Amino acid sequence: MAGKRRFNLCVVGATGLVGKEIVSILEDREFPVRSLRLFASQRSAGEKMEFRGEELTVEPLEDASFEGMDIGLFSPGASVSKVYAPKAVSQGCVVIDNTSRFRMEPDVPLVVPEVNPHRIGDYKNRGIIANPNCSTIQMVVALKPIHERFRIRRVVVSTYQSVSGAGKAAMDELSDQVRMLFNMRGFECRVFPHQIAFNCIPHIDVFLENDYTKEEMKMVMETKKIMEDDSIRVTATCVRVPVFVGHSEAINIETEEPLTADEVRDILKDAPGVEVVDDPQGALYPMPVDCSERDEVFVGRIREDDTVENGINLWVVSDNLRKGAALNAVQIAELLIKEYL
């Protein structure tokens, strides 16, 4: 890294699952960091985290925290980003925000580097780049190369989302419920509205007036924005499943142009960020247990849908804490410093 510019970074929400993953990925990918500051709530302030062999102290988030910072990687609650992202920008810090707060604002780019990297330059509008929803990210990475070749008309997606998407408390709840059930003891549901152990809950985020959940509508609206095509029709059913890490998706697509499973398989094998695992006869297909702590979006079960014209089914799996959040944010930061800063 000798001779290359280094940058002052901060991580907001550093003690959360995604925040910790961001710090780890910055080190793994040898991001050119001059200095790194870690911010969290007053409750977490004072905790110690390691970065490149150095012990860093987590600081409380304050109004003037961003002086001298080049890039802020935000992963707190949306209400925190709403207040502090503009403060960071006013102090000269470019914000890459993992929350839902700015995603659908028209002058804030919503970026997946494998799909729409050219939008990163739009950060100049507000000083903010939004990181999409985890379930949306892995889907569009798989869909983009297919859309470029065959033009996708409609997407029907059902998700099987791990509890880590709801935070550490959700992971603890699954672990606690499994233990309680094996010991034939009762328990209370604190994070989820129903038992999550050995169960599936078709309810992620709040229900809206149209009876879809907010999570489902995020996938609809974010996909159109990232793919830059409002004509794509998307419908989603999002389900929480008793898996600790890794989101899975069953995706059915219809295209304008005729296509075969072999053509899709060949396209995806060369697609950035995608790894094809597709040998049904050998019982090889993506599963969350194999995708944990991996950067790629894994695609398998590629097959033609003979109930519609130009239909294809895909099974897509990815580590939601990495590609679905932390890694995507760091990849944006890498392109930001390479092309714009």
Full domain range(s) for residue 295:
135-320
Q: Is residue 271 in a domain?
A: yes
Specify if 2 maps to a domain: no
> pLDDT, tens digit, for every residue of 308-319?
999 999 999 999
Band of the pLDDT at 4, cuts 50, 70, 90?
Answer: confident
Burial of 5 from C-beta contacts in 10 A (0-12 / 13-18 / 19+): exposed
Q: What is the CA radius of gyration of the chain?
A: 20
Residue 315 lies in a domain: yes
Q: What is the mean pLDDT of residues 27-31?
A: 98
> Are 148 and 210 within one domain?
yes
pLDDT tier for residue 262 given thresholds of 50, 70 and 90 = very high
Report which secondary-structure segment, H or E, holds 262: helix 261-269
Q: What is the total count of domains within the chain?
A: 2
Q: Indicate whether 207 and 332 sit together in one domain.
A: no
β-strand 247-255 against 311-318: which pairing, if any?
A: antiparallel
Position 1 in a domain: no
Same domain (yes/no): 296, 335: no
Q: Is 96's pLDDT higher than 50?
A: yes
Q: What's 193's domain CATH number?
A: 3.30.360.10
Q: What is the pLDDT of residue 3?
A: 58
Cβ(287)–Cβ(294) below 8 Å: no
Instruction: Encode burial over 67-103: b for 16+ CB neighbours within 10 A, e otherwise.
Output: eebbbbbbbbeeebbeebbebbbebebbbbbbbbbbb
Residue 221 lies inside a defined structural domain of this protein: yes
For residue 154, tell me if it sits in a domain. yes
**pLDDT tens, 328-341?**
999 999 999 999 99
pLDDT at 1: 43
Do 156 and 251 belong together in one domain? yes
210-233 pLDDT per residue, tens: 999 999 999 999 999 999 999 999
Mean pLDDT, to the nearest integer, of 3-15?
Answer: 93
Asked whether residue 309 falls in the same domain as residue 204, the answer is: yes
Same structural domain for residues 291 and 154? Answer: yes
Closest CA to 98 of 79, 113, 78: 78
Residue 189 placed within a domain: yes
185 assigned to some structural domain: yes
Active site residues: 134, 247
Residue 335 exposed, middle or buried by CB count within 10 Å (0-12, 13-18, 19+): middle
For the cut 90, the answer to whether the pLDDT of residue 26 exceeds it is yes
> How far is it, in rounded angstroms, from Cα 43 to Cα 189?
24
Q: Are 92 and 341 in contact (CB under 8 A)?
A: no
- Phi first, then psi: what are they for 324, rounded to 5°? -75, -5
Q: Give yes or no: residues 111 and 195 share one domain.
A: no
- Residue 47, pLDDT > 80, answer yes
Residues with Cβ < 8 Å from 120, sequence gap 6 or more? 109, 111, 113, 129, 332, 335, 336, 339, 340
| 171 in the same domain as 57 | no
Indicate whether 250 and 128 sit together in one domain: no
DSSP string, 5-52: --EEEEEETTTSHHHHHHHHHHHHTT--EEEEEEEE-TTTTT-EEEET
* pTM check: above 0.85: yes
Residues 187 and 273 in one domain: yes
Percent of the chain surpassing pLDDT 90? 99
Residue 2's pLDDT band (cuts 50, 70, 90):
very low
120/34 same-domain check: yes
How distant, in Å, are the alpha carbons of 37, 107, 149, 171, 265 from that of 271? 35, 28, 12, 32, 10
CATH code for the domain in which residue 41 is found: 3.40.50.720
Based on the domain organization, do 126 and 141 belong to the same domain? no
